[in-house]
Amino acid sequence: MKKYILALFIIPIVCGAFTPVNNTVTRSAITFQTKNMGIGVDGTIGGLQVNVQFSPANLASSSIEASVEANTINTDNSSRDEHLKGEDFFNVTHYPKITMKSVSFKHRSGNNYTGLFNLTIKGKTKSMEIPFTFTQNGNNLAFKGSFKLNRLEFGIGDSSLVLSDNVTVNIDAEVSG
Per-residue pLDDT tens for 5-43? 434 444 443 433 333 446 899 999 999 999 999 999 999
Question: Could you tell me if 75 and 81 are in contact, meaning their C-beta atoms sit under 8 angstroms apart?
Answer: yes
Tell me how far apart the alpha carbons of residues 166 and 174 are, in angstroms, rounded to a whole number: 26
DSSP 90: T
* Architecture in CATH for domain 21-176: Beta Barrel (2.40)
Could you state, in order of their start, the residue ranges of all structural domains in the chain? Answer: 21-176
Helices (H) and strands (E) in the chain, counts: 2, 9
The mean per-residue pLDDT over the stretch 45-64 comes to: 96
Per-residue pLDDT tens for 146-170? 999 999 999 999 999 999 999 999 9
The dihedral formed by the CA atoms of 139, 102, 132 and 144, expressed in degrees to the nearest 10: -50
Per-residue pLDDT tens for 83-102? 999 999 999 999 999 999 99
Give the burial string for 119-145 (b: 16+ CB within 10 Å, else e).
Answer: bbbbeeeeebebebebeeeeeebbbbb
